[in-house]
Amino acid sequence: MAYDAGAIEPKWRKIWEERRAFETERDESLPKFYCLEMFPYPSGALHMGHLRNYSIGDLIARFLRMNGYNVVHPIGFDSFGMPAENAAIKMKTHPAEWTLSNIDRAIEQLKSMGCSYDWRRLVKTCLPDYYRWSQWFFLRMYERGLAYRKYAPVNWCETCGTVLANEQVIGDGVCWRCDTPVVKKGLEQWFLRITDYAQELLDCLDGLTGWPERVLAMQRNWIGRSEGVRFNIAIADTDLSIEAFTTRIDTIYGITFVAIAAEHPMANTLAGRSAEAKRDEILDFARRMSSRSAIERTAVGGDKMGLDTGFKAINPVNGKLVPIWIADYILMEYGTGAIMGVPAHDQRDFDFVRKYGLGVIPVVRVAGEPIPDPEKMKSATEADGISCNSDEFDGLPTPEAIRKIAERFEERGWGKRETQYRLRDWLISRQRYWGTPIPMVYCDQCGLVPIPESDLPVELPLDAVVPPNGGNALLGCPDWINTKCPKCGGPARRETDTMDTFICSSWYFFRYLSPGFAEGPFKPEDSKYWMPVDLYIGGIEHACLHLIYARFFTKVLSDLGLASPDLREPFTGLLTQGMVIKDGAKMSKSLGNVVDPDEIIKKYGADTARLFILFASPPDKSLDWSDKGVDGAHRFLGRVFRLVEDNLPALSSASAAKIPMRDIKDPKRRGLKRLIHSTVDRVTRDIRDEKQLNTAVARLMELCNGLSAFSPSDRDGACLFREGVETLLLCLSPFCPHVCEELWEMLGHGDMLAHAKWPAAETEALAADSVTVVLQINGKVREQYSVEPGLSREALAERVMSEESARRRIDGLEVVKVIAVPDKLVNVVVKG
RNA sequence: GCGAGAGUGGUGGAACUGGCAGACACGCAAGACUUAGGAUCUUGUGCCUCCGGCGUAGGGGUUCGACUCCCCUCUCUCGCACCA
């Protein structure tokens, strides 16, 4: 009987299921571990990236379970969103039908991988018993002013027919889902006040020591804190003024112009106060600039466009008049949408004045050098230096100049110091059908009215038909839209926007903890016991999306008193898995380099697929798919299988007792004993401390090789051999659970390996009988000797120098120095 | 431009606080068993001018000793980017 994954794997999956092997309950007496993998979006079948994600997660869950942790390991589906609507149009079906059948298929795939999930905790975000609590959170936030509606220029994706949050505009300003260039539109939309948490989201990053530096850096960058001064600039001959923000208030004397964004309301105001021709010119320019997409705005290669309004601004510090321009490189979304133009010390302003012939006034010089000639400047000098041309502030180094001038501004009431963030409030409304309905109505009498909690969930009408042009199907549901005002009972219309799907994924890991709970989103005691997630595994693409939103949500839940007040962060450990690539590129249909997980599992079995994925590269690096490598992994499992099968008589006859190292005399056996225990030691550390899963597999291969080379010739030998084989199966089981269970059973065990205790390395068996030390001459290796371990520096040097071959090497040379490193080497430094 | 990470055999990748570079595997080569081998087993496998040298992107430095620490340069990947 040869290794047959096709027979073994279904057998064990059935046993695990029947024995409810992976169902866990809260148990205060046990240490807990929350192992979480990012839940999939069920758009068709799972791909290799999923297989990798869930192989890593399942390994960790199984490993910690064997190490005595009470492990919660759930799975679910992020099942609202655009692809379901697109598929509904294409396949002439309903998004719900498409989604739910895909989920069924994905569940089969996950099960075929042998993942140790607690299936009772399954969450599908598109079902009312889940999304009603998203609605409930929304209402809690609305009460607190954390959810609000406002008119703003927002990101619009024409293909998706909806607005997008800032985080969902990626790359060169394209939609994260469909790569369509995003355009700006003025619309009234729902927002969550994530900016209230900007500082805390930033501060807490320092405490996330279990996160990769890369993700922390990306989030810091995304939140984008900067300190500066916000101040007023009066417009000459008017009663108007413009607010500007700068981080370099020390360069205030260098202003040669003021610029505002094309969308700035002041553009209209100034147009209104201009003569007719100028007015049309301004309005036309502003309209042209603001209607361009992000791509158009940046694609010109930095060539800046501007228009002089004809108005003058008054520099608060010296009363100088400078022109006010509208410029396309000023962003309405950042700061105040207006800047002071200091070309000498800002490259963008410099480029702008060079194009339009405005002046340059240097106000910072390099220490020890004269003030540069503005005519000869080739670029702006943005580095710190010494203030000049700045009245009484001349001679101050930049940081001091910033402080002194900022103080002056505050004293005189011209402005105040302020901290700005790049992070924007989270735009959560979507003009889409397949999402969580926003629980609000519009009443002609009462205005905007929240749905009372008792009326939740506001169910998504399932009889809606997604229009072929991709519009919002809810608009075609008058029976659903027209309702009664909860306040006055009069006619009212439901909000037809739905929530961003990232709302669904912002709290699902709480819901897992209290499956089926009907009185709230989750039980506080469940959350208190299980949260935070100890290890979260998923792709890095969510660094500035889901991982920021979920952090925000957790803080809100904590502040609302739903989760413990001390739960400020949802995920203490984060493992960002690398991509799966083949032939040098990410697997994609267009490149035709996709490998289907189903086919691999069918051909080789899940154990082989898992082993290859975990062995081929460290989890956080990209994984190069190799068909040959899969063969190799499969061959290894065949060897493990034969190791047990071919030696079954010896293994069966051996007692389960372990012979301690001190009672083993034969050097070969002592070597095997040491190999067994050093393997346990290394594998445990590789998994637990380093998450170096590939080297853990390598160690197990070495153990297998060592065992294959050993022939158990007597009772003690068989006993040691059995210890080795069982250790191998125990340590390999989180990687390849099915085949290990099968072999464990063949060895006569009645219990499940999944619940077995992880082996402990015997320290006595780790110590080496002898160590190989090398003799170096001037750092070059010349000889090797086997010596007893633990020799002191002196003893080791003496021991090595007494060797015949060592004497010969050194004979006749002038020895300058001898360096000995215990158990490692002796380096003889010679002259000549 | 800013930030993060990487560069080691033909390939994927190892190397703990500086101490035998290339673990483990893939591939390749030779052999064994075979009617057969894309099965299995054994052996070998960094490079060269091979009793000796050279080798961890390139150049310098620190050290008895550097893939590892320091400085400079190059290349690649990822993220952000007229952010005031």
Cα–Cα nearest to A596, from A580, A576, A614: A580
Please give the Cα distance from A12 to A33 (Å, whole number).
24
Average pLDDT over residues A476-484: 95
Give mean pLDDT, residues A797-802. Answer: 88
Closest-CA residue to A820 (of A793, A784, A785, A788): A793
Instruction: Please tell me whether any atom of strand B lies within 7 Å of the Cβ of A797.
Output: no
Residues 286-305 of A with CB under 7 A from strand B: 294, 297-298, 300, 302-305
Phi, psi (deg, nearest 5) at residue A795: -60, -40
In sign, the C-alpha dihedral spanning A273, A276, A278, A284 is: positive
pLDDT at A210 over 60: yes
By C1' distance from the Cα of A784, the closest nucleotide is B20
A705 phi/psi in degrees, rounded to 5: -60, -40
CA angle A114, A115, A117 (to 5 degrees): 135
A629 touches strand B (CB under 7 A): yes
Q: Strand B closer than 7 Å to the CB of A781?
A: yes
Q: How far apart are CA A115 and CA A606, in angstroms?
A: 10
β-partners of residue A190 are A149
- Percentage of chain A with pLDDT > 90? 69
Q: What three-state secondary structure class fits A536?
A: strand
Instruction: Name residues whose C-beta falls within 8 Å of residue A350's C-beta, 6 or more positions apart in sequence.
Output: A343, A344, A360, A377, A379, A380
Rounding to the nearest 10 degrees, give the CA dihedral for residues A637, A639, A643, A644: 30
Alpha helices in A646-757 (DSSP H): 648-653, 667-685, 693-708, 715-732, 737-746
In this complex, the answer to whether residue A195 has its CB under 7 A from any atom of chain B, a nucleic strand, is no
Whether pLDDT at A164 is above 90: no
DSSP one-letter code for A770: -
pLDDT at position A296 over 80: no
User: Which letter does DSSP use for residue A688 in this model?
Assistant: I
| For residue A457, cis peptide bond before it (omega within 30 degrees of 0) | yes
Least confident stretch, A21-30, A170-179, A374-383: A170-179
Res. A730 pLDDT band, cuts 50 70 90 = very high
Pick from A244-258, A461-475, A748-762: least confident: A461-475
Which nucleotide's C1' sits nearest to the alpha carbon of A2?
B39
Q: Is the CB of A638 under 7 A from strand B?
A: yes
Rounded distance, CA A333 to CA A336, Å? 8
From CA A596, how far away is CA A382, in angstroms rounded?
A: 52
Nearest protein residue to nucleotide B3 (CA to C1' distance) is A217
A222 touches strand B (CB under 7 A): yes
Averaged over A184-192, what is the pLDDT? 88
Say which nucleotide is closest to residue A332, CA to C1' distance: B83
DSSP tag of A505: T
> Three-state SS string across A263-312, please?
CCHHHHHHHHCCCHHHHHHHHHHHHHHHCCCHHHHHHCCCCCCEEEEEEE
Q: What is the average per-residue pLDDT within A259-276?
A: 93
CA of A566 to C1' of B50 (A): 68
Nearest Cα residue to A437 out of A499, A503, A482, A505: A499
CA A357 / C1′ B22 distance in Å: 62
Average pLDDT over residues A397-416: 94
Give percent of chain A with pLDDT exceeding 70.
99
Distance A404 CA to B9 C1' (A): 61
C-beta of residue A636 within 8 angstroms of C-beta of residue A766:
no
Q: What is the pLDDT of residue A300?
A: 47
Cα of A782 vs its chain's centroid, Å:
49
- Any idea which nucleotide's C1' is nearest the CA of A638? B40
Say whether the CB atom of A446 is under 7 angstroms from strand B: no
CA A293 to chain centre: 28
Q: A212 vs A173, A208, A312, A540, CA distance in Å? A: 26, 9, 50, 10
pLDDT of residue A1: 67
HEC profile for A88-118?
HHHHCCCHHHHHHHHHHHHHHHHHHCCCCCC
φ, ψ dihedrals at A685, nearest 5°: -70, -40
For the segment 160-179 of chain A, residues whose CB is within 7 A of strand B: 170-171
Give the global pTM.
Answer: 0.93
Q: Which nucleotide is nearest to A226 (CA to C1')?
A: B83
Asked if residue A152 has pLDDT above 60, the reply is yes
Residue A823 φ/ψ region, left for φ over 0, alpha for ψ in the -120 to 50 degree band, beta for the rest = left
Residues 23-82 of A with CB under 7 A from strand B: none
Whether the predicted pLDDT of A70 surpasses 80: yes
Q: What is the pLDDT of residue A772?
A: 85
Q: Is the CB of A772 under 7 A from strand B?
A: yes
Q: Report the pLDDT averaged over residues A648-659.
A: 89
DSSP class of residue A473 equals G
A776 touches strand B (CB under 7 A): yes
A639 CA: nearest nucleotide by C1' = B40
List the nucleotides on chain B closer than 7 A to a protein CB.
2-5, 11-15, 19-21, 23-27, 39-42, 53, 64-66, 78-84
- Under the banding of pLDDT at 50, 70 and 90, the label for residue A302 is low
A584: left (phi > 0), else alpha (psi -120 to 50), else beta? left
Nearest nucleotide by C1' from A627 CA?
Answer: B26
Q: What letter does residue A571 receive in the DSSP assignment?
A: B
Q: How far is CA A140 from CA A135, A451, A452, A517, A559, in A?
A: 9, 11, 11, 19, 11
Closest nt to residue A304, judged CA to C1': B82
Separation of CA A323 and C1' B16 in angstroms?
Answer: 65
A618 touches strand B (CB under 7 A): yes
Q: What is the pLDDT confidence band of residue A290, given thresholds at 50, 70 and 90? A: confident
Residue A585: CB less than 7 A from any atom in strand B: no
Reported as a single tens digit per residue, the pLDDT across A336-391 is 999 999 999 998 899 899 899 899 999 999 888 889 898 888 888 888 889 999 99
Task: Give me the mean pLDDT over the A136-152 stretch.
Answer: 95
